[in-house]
Structure 1
Amino acid sequence: MTIESLTLDPVTVQKLSGVTTATLTTVLLKKGLRNVWIRGTKPLKPGQARVVGRAFTLRFVPMREDLATPASWGAPISTRSAVEAMPAGCIAVVDAMGVTDAGIFGDILCARMQKRQVAGLVTDGVIRDRDGVVGTGLPVWCQGTAAPASAASLTFVNWQEPIACGGVAVFPNDIMVVDTDGAVLIPADLLDAVVEAAVEQEQLEGWIMSEVNQGAVLTGLYPPNEANKARYEAWAKTVR
């Protein structure tokens, strides 16, 4: 049974769009979560903007010759059917088991995802048709490219179920934030607490950076001691 896709509050998207994945990993570390950065995900195109959305998961398993065939592309359980189930604003998170010799998606599937207003694609695998995929405008984070189709090394099995992607457990409707440093997961149940802490952390670090640019030393500033905390709080009141 697949899990129903949920929407993400636009206000939350706006807030997280101003928070770096580096800041999020720090906030999540303070909450006891260390394994939230998906390994093997790099921007396909330089300069891709940060994207935020709920995870729409897809899962591949190792290739089996009787299942991973061109005919399977038209089956009810296929990457094509999964794309048609993706809601606007989601981020497709694909468990490709780190396989790098077969592209999970190409330009046509990515073009359809773009038409469906999918926010982005994240995978620990690779894509194919690189130039065409870049041309669709769909933001993609992956390990690179390969010419062979997915069926050469992988079998697609389902969507909207728990997966492992880049060594991270991803559940449908978890929140993904992806930027030039890669993809970070926020567990759905911790969303509100993480957003509040992350926005505050981003503001604090912005203030610290301004102090550093003015020549301040790091000791007692990063992290701030009591005196600098008081200075920051006084400053923060003027911008809230």
Structure 2
Amino acid sequence: MDQPKNDATLFAQMKERLFSAVISDALDQVGVRDRVMRADLRPLDPSMVICGRAFTILSADVYEKNRDPYEMEIEAIDSLTPHSVAVWSTNGSKRTGVWGELLSTAARARGAVGAIIDGYIRDAVQIMKMGFPVFCTGLRPVDSAGRSLVIDYNCTVQVGDVLVSPGDIVFADYDGVVVIPKDVEDEVIRLAMEKVRRESATREELLKGAYLKDVYAKYGVL
């Protein structure tokens, strides 16, 4: 694969050719075995795919209404950049739906390509109608004001039991969410693209009737 000149080209190629499982395998190959998020982070729609750079957001539960409960949340969303993915740590909160239709609309306007919310969201039907990719752990219609507060952003967070740093590549599809650390992204993407080529060759030979044992010996993939 020719090296893409920018993130837009890279992410388009990744969405076209790759999927979460092959990226997970490539991470295993370079010895990074802890960058696949928990299985309960699910897309609102099975067709949703996300590929972009992490823009991290951190919130915490509160038990009274702050004077300006949305101040840092608004600041964070307005700071999203093209090809970014909002990756939101709620510290495991179950009190509120921190993401909704208006945040999805604002994020898309800034050029963001999706959101990974380790917590609940609301306005799910409206978000699906928008076609904005969102992964979350569940749905709850209550507002965040007086229940949770954004306390920081563009910081290292733990989402889906994975440590995510700003700028890491996030790839999410129906199988799950995978995070590629910046320091290994070139090698991981190269290995994933190569494995996809070998998988395609394996599939073609199996369809022609070849034995799995023989094809595996030739291409080394399952």
Does the pair score TM above 0.5? Answer: yes
Separation in 2, partners of 1:56, 1:217:
45
Matches within 5 A, 1:175-214: 175-214=169-208
**3-state DSSP of counterpart to 2:139:** coil
Task: Name the TM-score, length of structure 2 as normaliser.
Answer: 0.89
Q: For residues 12 and 99 of structure 1, what CA distance do their matches in structure 2 show?
A: 34
Contact 2:34–2:162 under 8 Å retained in 1: yes
Q: Which residue of 2 aligns with 1:234?
A: none
By how many angstroms is 1:94 displaced? Answer: 0.6
- Distance between the aligned counterparts of 1:33 and 1:152, measured in 2? 39
Superposition RMSD in Å: 2.1
Q: Give unmatched runs, 5+ long, in structure 2.
A: none
Shift of 1:179: 1.0
Match of 2:155 in 1: 161
| Aligned partners of 2:54 and 2:85 also within 8 Å | yes
* 1:105-151 superposed Cα distances (whole Å, 9 cap, x missing partner): 11111111122221000122111122222233311011121011224
How far residue 91 of structure 1 moved from its aligned partner, in angstroms, is 0.7
Match of 1:37, SS state, is coil
Query: 2 CA distance for matches of 1:164 and 1:8?
Result: 27
**CA shift at 1:71, angstroms?**
2.8
Query: Which residue number corresponds to residue 53 of structure 1?
Result: 52
Q: Which stretches in structure 1 are left out of the alignment for 5+ residues?
A: 1-6, 231-240
**Separation (CA, whole Å) in 2 of partners of 1:102 and 1:64:** 11
Structure with the bigger percentage of strand: 2
1:155: how far off?
2.5
Q: 1:43-122 to 2 correspondence within 5 Å? A: 43-48=43-48, 50-61=49-60, 63-66=61-64, 68-69=65-66, 71-73=68-70, 75=71, 78-122=72-116
What is the rounded CA distance, in whole Å, between the counterparts of 1:202 and 1:44 in structure 2?
26
- The one-character-per-residue Cα deviations of 1:193-236 (angstroms, maximum 9, x if unpaired) are 111111000110111111122222222423xx2xx259xxxxxx
Larger radius of gyration: 1
- Amino acid in the other structure paired with 1:51: I
Instruction: Give, in angstroms, the shift of residue 8 of structure 1.
Output: 5.4
Q: Alpha-carbon deviation of 1:152?
A: 5.2
CA deviation digits over 1:3-60, x for unaligned, max 9? Answer: xxxx952332133211110000111111111111111321112322x22111000011
TM-score if structure 1 supplies the norm length?
0.82
Q: Give the aligned residue type for 1:120.
A: G
Counterpart of 1:72 in 2: which secondary structure? coil
Distance 1:149 1:32 in 2: 41
The equivalent position to 2:121 in structure 1, one of 124, 127, 137, is 127
